[in-house]
């Protein structure tokens, strides 16, 4: 099953045909200084008897602001949305939110198709193809509305088609622009996949339901090979750490492995590992009640793996990637793991579980050991792992920690490129001492109130010694908390950019 919202995104060059005859529900024009000299715009303005240029000078003051003009005589578009463009110097997040507003406006006024002319101004260091890709990605991922668990009369996204308009593109540049549209669309689809899985309530998104959805995806994308492991099979592999998390739940755990081979057979794969806790009560170390519902998004690492794999398959990307989704529900019951229990991980290291709410690292530990068999070139795990990362970095950046600086650098670079930012925290030898305990090789918590995000990574690093690895803590970025309460689909854009741009040598 595909999770794209739009049925189609097209690219059309309007230099020959002009804008006035364009049939669309909503024509969006991004206005900046250059626009006034654009022939298609001049023509349109003339037809409107200068109504457009007068509106621009009287109503569009602040960049990013917009004005909607319905039904202009002589113009075939049902509505015209004039948006004051940004400056080259404006940061990327402003560009993203500008097009996010365009997508919302399209749904708000019930447009079925929208046509967007982004104009020629691009942010510093980015070219027109970057802009086209960003428009395609941002609109696809923002026309998304979650409605599955609402009654049937609820508003669904009205926008079903997007046309990105260019002016003066031909030949190889037109082809490049078409590729950019396609890439943006596929990344947007991956974002929506992750948003949707995250937004589903936990009783609609158990490990077995995710398993069904992952298997269903192979119908759309036969190039994705899925293996799923049940608890018995995980037990056989010695995954005592992972299984300690699902012990207290009626819902059995699942580990899904998705293989995508689009590159040379000899090329080592990149491995992605995602935390998929479908609900985190904290277990016996139970969480406080306020906002506990937000723990349905504790599977966003796994959802990111799902989203990225679908993006790669959609694009037929020439890369080899293996994605592992570690899914379990963390509940408290008479069977649940208790503080002080000691379990044996797949790596052979024993773990004293001092806090059952530090469960993500227990799942990841065994998944990270499991991926060794693929002899991966790089391993990246993504997890809503610690509340501490929200305090350390705020909501705008994911936290990166790594045992390989090149990998960390490329992750941060891809975050800048895609507007899905990440920032590094240190992972030094000094941080390792905190995982010591009397009763096992490791404890699952350490460091008290200090540097909780780094100590979680230090624990993971005990399982990633044999390969180049980075950990991305997405607890702050994968979803918006109160009052918005919604999945963001992050870090699908970052990871897709990292893999598709082949930054990793
Ligand atoms: N799923 C939580 C982390 C989390 C917190 C995600 C807030 C999203 C928003 C994780 O399993 C957890 O509970 N971590 C504990 C670790 C602690 C017990 C060492 C935390 O951050 O409090
Ligand atoms: Zn927890
Ligand atoms: Zn958790």
Q: What are phi and psi of 3, to 5 degrees?
A: -115, 20
Q: Which of 56-70, 256-270, 330-344, 434-448 has the lowest mean pLDDT?
A: 434-448
374 and 431 part of one domain: yes
**Whole-number pLDDT of residue 395:** 96
Q: Which atom of ligand 1 is nearest to the CA of 359?
A: 11
- pLDDT, tens digit, 9 for 90 and up, residues 416-460: 999 999 999 999 999 987 777 999 999 999 888 899 999 999 999
Residue whose CB lies within 8 A of the most ligand 1 atoms, among 326, 353, 357, for a mutation test? 357
Residue 457 within any structural domain of the chain: no
**Whole-number pLDDT of residue 164:** 98
214 and 361 part of one domain: yes
Would you say residue 48 has pLDDT above 90?
yes
Residue 348 within any structural domain of the chain: no
Would you say residue 242 has pLDDT above 80?
yes
Length of the chain equals: 505
**Whole-number pLDDT of residue 302:** 99
Note the ligand closest to the C-alpha atom of 452.
1
Q: Report the pocket of ligand 1 as residue ranges, CB < 6 Å.
A: 280, 298, 355, 357-360, 384-388, 445, 452, 475
**Whole-number pLDDT of residue 21:** 94
Residue 91 within any structural domain of the chain: yes
158 and 300 part of one domain: no
**Whole-number pLDDT of residue 436:** 78
d(CA 58, CA 305): 47
Residue 344 within any structural domain of the chain: no
- Cα 184 to averaged position of ligand 2 atoms, centre (Å): 34
- pLDDT, tens digit, 9 for 90 and up, residues 296-336: 999 999 999 999 999 999 999 999 999 999 999 999 999 99
Share of the chain above pLDDT 90, in %: 93
CA proximity to 133, closest of 87, 58, 54, 186: 186
Note the ligand closest to the C-alpha atom of 282.
2
- Cα 151 to averaged position of ligand 3 atoms, centre (Å): 30
How do beta strands 341-344 and 350-353 pair? antiparallel
75 and 170 part of one domain: yes
Coil, helix or strand at residue 21: coil
Average pLDDT over residues 18-43: 93
Note the ligand closest to the C-alpha atom of 387.
1
Q: Which atom of ligand 1 is nearest to the CA of 479?
A: 8
- Torsion sign (Cα): 296, 302, 307, 313: negative
As a whole number of Å, the CA-based R_g of the chain is 24
Average pLDDT over residues 224-238: 98
Residue nearest to atom 17 of ligand 1 (CA): 358
- Cα 274 to averaged position of ligand 3 atoms, centre (Å): 12
- pLDDT, tens digit, 9 for 90 and up, residues 161-195: 999 999 999 899 999 999 999 999 999 999 999 99
Residues around the ion ligand 2 (C-beta < 5 A) = 280, 357, 359
- 153 HSE (CA, 13 A, CB side): 0
Residue whose CB lies within 8 A of the most ligand 1 atoms, among 279, 360, 385, 398, for a mutation test? 385
Domain span at residue 29 reads: 8-190
Catalytic residue numbers read 287, 361
Note the ligand closest to the C-alpha atom of 445.
1
Query: Model confidence at 154, in pLDDT bands (50, 70, 90)?
Result: confident
Asked whether 22 and 115 are in contact (CB, 8 A), the reply is yes
Number of separate domains in the chain: 2
Q: 3-class secondary structure for 121-186?
A: CCCCCCCHHHHHHHHHHHHHHHCCCCCCCCCCCCCCCCCCEEEEEECCCCHHHHHHHHHHHHHHHH
Note the ligand closest to the C-alpha atom of 434.
1
* Domain stops at, among 135, 161, 190: 190
126 and 218 part of one domain: no
Residue nearest to atom 13 of ligand 1 (CA): 357
- Cα 386 to averaged position of ligand 3 atoms, centre (Å): 7
Q: What are phi and psi of 114, to 5 degrees?
A: -125, 150
Average pLDDT over residues 130-148: 97
Would you say residue 505 has pLDDT above 90?
no
213 and 278 part of one domain: yes
- Cα 445 to averaged position of ligand 1 atoms, centre (Å): 11
**Whole-number pLDDT of residue 2:** 81
- Cα 374 to averaged position of ligand 3 atoms, centre (Å): 26
- For residue 401, the surrounding DSSP H or E stretch is strand 398-402
173 and 212 part of one domain: no
What tokens were used for 226? 């899925």
- For residue 365, the surrounding DSSP H or E stretch is helix 360-370
* Domain stops at, among 146, 162, 190: 190
* Domain stops at, among 190, 210, 243: 190
d(CA 217, CA 352): 38
Residue 40 within any structural domain of the chain: yes
Phi/psi region, residue 463 (left: phi>0; alpha: psi -120 to 50; beta: rest), is alpha
- pLDDT, tens digit, 9 for 90 and up, residues 465-477: 999 999 999 999 9
The CATH number of whichever domain residue 146 belongs to comes to: 3.40.220.10
114 and 83 part of one domain: yes
Q: 3-class secondary structure for 424-493?
A: ECCCCHHHHHHHCCCCCCEECCCCCCCCHHHHHHHHHHCCCCCCCEEEEECCCCCEECCCCCEECCCCHH
Query: Model confidence at 226, in pLDDT bands (50, 70, 90)?
Result: very high
8-state DSSP, 287: P
Q: ∠ at Cα 420 (11, 261), nearest 5°?
A: 70
The CATH number of whichever domain residue 255 belongs to comes to: 3.40.630.10
- pLDDT, tens digit, 9 for 90 and up, residues 331-365: 999 999 999 999 999 999 999 999 999 999 999 99
**Whole-number pLDDT of residue 485:** 96
Q: ∠ at Cα 376 (256, 196), nearest 5°?
A: 35
186 and 106 part of one domain: yes
Would you say residue 36 has pLDDT above 90?
no
Residue 458 within any structural domain of the chain: no
- Cα 298 to averaged position of ligand 1 atoms, centre (Å): 9
Average pLDDT over residues 42-69: 95
- Cα 285 to averaged position of ligand 2 atoms, centre (Å): 9
Residue nearest to atom 3 of ligand 1 (CA): 386
Mean of pLDDT over the chain = 96
Compute how many other C-beta atoms are within 10 angstroms of the C-beta atom of residue 490.
29
Residue nearest to atom 16 of ligand 1 (CA): 358
- Cα 363 to averaged position of ligand 3 atoms, centre (Å): 10
Residue 175 within any structural domain of the chain: yes
Query: Model confidence at 244, in pLDDT bands (50, 70, 90)?
Result: very high
Residue whose CB lies within 8 A of the most ligand 1 atoms, among 293, 386, 388, 474, for a mutation test? 386
- 445 HSE (CA, 13 A, CB side): 18
Q: Which atom of ligand 1 is nearest to the CA of 452?
A: 19
**Whole-number pLDDT of residue 34:** 86
Residue nearest to atom 8 of ligand 1 (CA): 475
Would you say residue 152 has pLDDT above 80?
no
Q: 3-class secondary structure for 72-125?
A: CCCCCCCEEEEEECCCCCCCHHHHHHHHHHHHHHHHHCCCCEEEEECCCCCCCC
146 and 217 part of one domain: no
Compute how many other C-beta atoms are within 10 angstroms of the C-beta atom of residue 129.
19
**Whole-number pLDDT of residue 468:** 98
Residue nearest to atom 14 of ligand 1 (CA): 386
Q: Which atom of ligand 1 is nearest to the CA of 298?
A: 1
Average pLDDT over residues 252-256: 99
**Whole-number pLDDT of residue 155:** 78
163 and 284 part of one domain: no
Q: Which atom of ligand 1 is nearest to the CA of 384?
A: 6
104 and 233 part of one domain: no
């Amino acid at each position: 099953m595909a999770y794209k919202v739009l049925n189609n995104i097209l690219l059309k060059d309007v230099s020959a045909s002009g804008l006035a005859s364009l049939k669309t529900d909503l024509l969006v024009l991004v206005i900046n200084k250059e626009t006034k000299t654009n022939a298609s715009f001049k023509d349109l303005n003339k037809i409107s008897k200068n109504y457009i240029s007068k509106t621009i000078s009287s109503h569009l003051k602040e960049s990013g602001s917009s004005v909607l003009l319905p039904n202009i005589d002589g113009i075939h578009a049902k509505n015209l949305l004039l948006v004051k463009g940004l400056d080259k110097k404006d940061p990327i997040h402003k560009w993203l939110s500008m097009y996010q507003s365009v997508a919302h406006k399209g749904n708000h006024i019930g447009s079925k198709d929208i046509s967007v002319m982004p104009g020629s101004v691009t942010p510093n260091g980015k070219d027109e193809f970057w802009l086209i890709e960003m428009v395609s990605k941002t609109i696809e991922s923002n026309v998304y509305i979650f409605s599955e668990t609402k009654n049937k009369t609820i508003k669904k996204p009205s926008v079903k088609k997007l046309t990105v308009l260019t002016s003066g593109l031909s030949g190889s540049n037109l082809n490049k622009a078409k590729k950019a549209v396609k890439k943006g669309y596929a990344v947007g689809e991956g974002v929506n996949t992750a948003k949707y899985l995250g937004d589903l309530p936990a009783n609609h998104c158990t490990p077995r339901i995710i398993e069904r959805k992952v298997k269903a995806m192979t119908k759309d994308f036969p190039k994705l090979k899925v293996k799923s492991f049940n608890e018995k099979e995980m037990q056989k592999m010695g995954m005592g750490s992972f299984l300690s998390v699902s012990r207290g739940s009626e819902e059995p755990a699942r580990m899904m492995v998705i293989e995508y081979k689009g590159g040379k057979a000899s090329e080592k794969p990149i491995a992605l590992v995602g935390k998929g806790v479908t609900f985190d009560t904290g277990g016996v170390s139970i969480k406080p009640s306020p906002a506990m519902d937000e723990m349905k998004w504790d599977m966003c690492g796994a959802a990111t793996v799902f989203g990225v794999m679908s993006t790669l398959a959609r694009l037929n990307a020439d890369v080899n990637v293996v994605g592992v989704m570690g899914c379990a529900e963390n509940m408290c019951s008479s069977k649940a793991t208790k503080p002080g229990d000691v379990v044996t991980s797949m790596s052979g290291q024993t773990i004293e579980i001092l806090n059952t709410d530090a469960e993500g690292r227990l799942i990841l530990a065994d998944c990270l050991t499991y991926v060794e068999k693929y002899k991966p070139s790089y391993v990246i795990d993504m997890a809503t792992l610690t509340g501490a990362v929200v305090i350390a970095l705020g909501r705008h950046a994911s936290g990166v920690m790594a045992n390989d600086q090149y990998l960390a650098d490329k992750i941060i670079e891809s975050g800048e490129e895609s507007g899905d930012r990440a920032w590094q925290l240190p992972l030094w030898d000094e941080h390792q001492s905190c995982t010591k305990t009397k009763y096992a090789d490791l404890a699952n918590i350490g460091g008290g109130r200090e540097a909780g995000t780094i100590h979680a990574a230090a624990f993971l690093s005990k399982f990633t010694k044999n390969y180049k690895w980075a950990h991305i803590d997405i607890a702050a970025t994968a979803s918006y908390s109160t009052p918005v309460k919604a999945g963001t689909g992050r870090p699908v854009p970052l990871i897709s950019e990292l893999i598709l741009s082949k930054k990793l040598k």
